[in-house]
Amino acid sequence: MSTALRIKTPEGITFSFQLAGPVVRGLAWAVDFLVIIVISQGVGFLGRIAGIISDDLAAAVATLGYFIVSIGYGVAAEWVWRGQTIGKRLVRLRVMDAQGLRLQFHQILIRNLLRFVDMLPGFYLVGGLACSFSRRAQRLGDLAANTIVVHNTRHAEPDLDQLLAGKFNSLRQHPHLEARLRQRVSAAEARLALQALVRRDELEPAARVTLFADLADHFKSVVTFPPEAVEAMPDEQYIRNVVDILFRTRGTDAKPARELSGATP
């Protein structure tokens, strides 16, 4: 099973969704199960009020109420919250169309009705197995409805201000090389440099020196700054300066991406 679904648009742009596996989906379902019980209790209370009129009516309200809540909760929540229930919101999951198109009501209805088969023989065994072996992590309901469940992971960013401690960065004196560095370094390389700084205290002194030397050599081979900018600069400080350039922009636009990133699909 792959963990991401990549969609290529006719414009040649590719974007990807992180697929949710059976464990995290099970967690969301457990929360939703509790929510259904709570709502059913509320309906039962309404039934007791109806009992003032008739005990028969009260029992009918309770019976139908639980049935409607158990089936309708997932359908209504996913429709109103565009693919999310309370459980899915808590663990950051969302139901989406498998082709990235707009989620339709009939898709939500079908995937929820097919729970009757996915739940067999108990504890969502069929659905869990299907999800584990499916290429797109789909249970049978998702397959029939042509939907996927994606996981909007939150990447915790380290506190760069504390990490980089506001020292003068001589590399910033060369804006054109700064821009070239940003352009040439891959995401994986940038993360590696950042993680080396975050975990520096976990390393043995000798290993730390070797690691930062290797990293500095690598980044120097990517973009070469003038000798006066890097003169007598320790390897670790060089990496700090590189990370500063890669992860922090200057001036009033210092955190634009972070401000914007609240709007996830």
Partner 1 sequence: MIIDLPRFIAAERPTWTELEKLLDRLEADPYAQMSLEEVQRFHLLYQKVSADLGRVATFAAEPELKRYLESLTARAYGEIHETRTRSAKFRPVHWFVNDFPRAFRRQAGPFAVVMVITLVAFLFGAIATAFDEEAKEAILPGQFAHLMDDPAKRVAEEESATRDRLDGAKSQFASMLMANNIRVSIFTLALGITFGIGTIINLFYNMALLGMVAVDYVLAGQTVFLLGWLLPHGIIEIPAILIAGQGGLVLGRALVGRGDRAPLSARLRAIGPDLMMLIYGVAVMLVWAGIVEAFLSQYHEPAIRYWQKIAFGVLEGVALVWFLWFKRVAEPAEEDRS
Residues 167-226 that bind partner 1 (CB under 8 A): 175-176, 179-180, 182-183, 185-190
Query: Can residue 57 be called a binding residue for partner 1 (CB under 8 A)?
Result: yes
Q: How far is the CB of 184 from partner 1 (least distance, A)?
A: 8
Query: Can residue 42 be called a binding residue for partner 1 (CB under 8 A)?
Result: no
Instruction: Using the minimum distance from each CB to partner 1, give the nearer residue, 114 or 197.
Output: 114
Q: Select the residue interacting with partner 1 from 129, 144, 163, 198 (CB under 8 A).
A: 144
- Amino acid code (one letter) for 226: P
Site for partner 1 in 236-265 (CB under 8 A): 245-247, 249-251, 253, 256-258, 260-261, 263-265
DSSP state for residue 83 in the 8-state scheme: S
Cβ atoms of 177 and 171 closer than 8 Å: yes
The site that binds partner 1 (CB under 8 A) totals a number of residues, namely: 73
Q: How far is the CB of 237 from partner 1 (least distance, A)?
A: 19
Residues 6+ apart with CB under 8 A from 193: 215, 219, 239, 242, 243, 246
Residues 6+ apart with CB under 8 A from 28: 85, 87, 88, 90, 91, 93
96: part of which helix (H) or strand (E)? Answer: strand 93-97
Q: How far apart are CA 112 and CA 115, in angstroms?
A: 5
Radius of gyration (C-alpha) of the chain in whole angstroms: 27
Q: How far is the CB of 139 from partner 1 (least distance, A)?
A: 10
Instruction: Using the minimum distance from each CB to partner 1, give the nearer residue, 102 or 166.
Output: 102
Q: Binding string to partner 1 for residues 93 to 132, with x set by CB under 8 A, is what?
A: ----xxxxxx-xxxx-xx--xxxxx---------------
Q: How far is the CB of 91 from partner 1 (least distance, A)?
A: 18
Q: How far is the CB of 248 from partner 1 (least distance, A)?
A: 9
